[in-house]
């Protein structure tokens, strides 16, 4: 893999030269007008799509954890997410639903989508992504429990392989009372789904 070097700059891997070689391997002419800037564009695009590697939970949450006696379920539903399948480097996208029951501390509502973003913007499998979001909320808040459901469609299933256009994948991760108390689990799933179909 090629690298970019300056007098005192760290060695930074580049993707553009590799994309140039891929275009040649596909039988294309990387020098034609439509493809001349494609390697650089793909480099920038992939870095944007996987920017979660440069993000951290601590930085994204900051000081937005507050002492609060609230003890009922808090749900943020329909958090849009975009990620990249690590097996085929094709996108998958959908919605995350995140809930927790506090134990003396709550988090700013905008921070839950940020936690999703930290892990979604990496090469992923949906199962791991679901677990990582649940574990992140647990580690930040130490609540009574956490529930996460992710519903997504995968282009690796739609564009190649089985080519099933209407399939979706649903994964869940339950921690604490969401796993151990059937009533809490049922309340969470009822709030998440509410009789709706994924659109």
Model-wide pTM > 0.95: no
- With a CB cutoff of 8 Å and minimum separation 6, the contacts of 161 are none
pLDDT at 199: 45
pLDDT at 2: 46
Distance CA 65, CA 68 (A): 9
Distance CA 108, CA 65 (A): 6
pLDDT at 6: 54
Query: 73 and 188 in contact (C-beta within 8 Å)?
Result: yes
Distance CA 145, CA 178 (A): 6
Query: 47 and 53 in contact (C-beta within 8 Å)?
Result: no
The percentage of the chain sitting over the pLDDT mark of 70, rounded to a whole number, equals 90
* Tokens read off for 186: 């049922």
- The stretches in the chain having pLDDT less than 50 are 1-3, 197-199
Query: 165 and 157 in contact (C-beta within 8 Å)?
Result: no
Active site residues: 85-88, 126, 154, 156
pLDDT at 7: 60
Delineate the domains of the chain, giving CATH numbers in brackets. 3-49 (1.10.286), 59-193 (3.30.1130.10)
pLDDT at 153: 95
- With a CB cutoff of 8 Å and minimum separation 6, the contacts of 191 are 73, 75, 77, 99
The DSSP symbol for 148 reads E
pLDDT tens by residue, 62-100 = 999 999 999 999 999 999 999 999 999 999 999 999 999
Closest alpha carbon to 125 in 86, 73, 182: 86
Distance CA 198, CA 171 (A): 13
Query: 118 and 56 in contact (C-beta within 8 Å)?
Result: yes
pLDDT at 8: 65
Query: 188 and 146 in contact (C-beta within 8 Å)?
Result: no
């Amino acid at each position: 893999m090629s690298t970019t070097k300056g007098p005192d700059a760290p060695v930074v891997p580049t993707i553009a030269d590799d994309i140039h070689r891929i275009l040649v391997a596909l039988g294309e002419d990387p020098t034609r007008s439509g493809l001349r800037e494609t390697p650089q564009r793909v480099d920038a695009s992939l870095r944007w799509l996987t920017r979660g590697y440069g993000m951290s939970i601590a930085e994204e949450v900051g000081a937005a954890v507050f002492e609060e006696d609230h003890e009922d379920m808090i749900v943020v539903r329909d958090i849009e997410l975009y990620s990249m399948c690590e097996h085929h480097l094709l996108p998958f996208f959908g919605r995350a639903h995140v809930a927790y029951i506090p134990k003396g501390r709550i988090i700013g509502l905008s921070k839950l989508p940020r936690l999703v973003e930290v892990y979604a913007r990496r090469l992923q499998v949906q199962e791991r992504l679901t677990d990582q979001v649940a574990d992140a909320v647990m580690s930040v808040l130490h609540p009574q429990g956490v529930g996460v459901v992710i519903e997504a469609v995968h282009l690796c299933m739609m564009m190649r392989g089985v080519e099933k256009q209407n399939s979706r994948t649903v994964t869940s991760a339950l921690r604490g009372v969401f796993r151990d108390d059937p009533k809490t689990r049922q309340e969470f799933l009822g709030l998440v789904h509410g009789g709706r179909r994924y659109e």
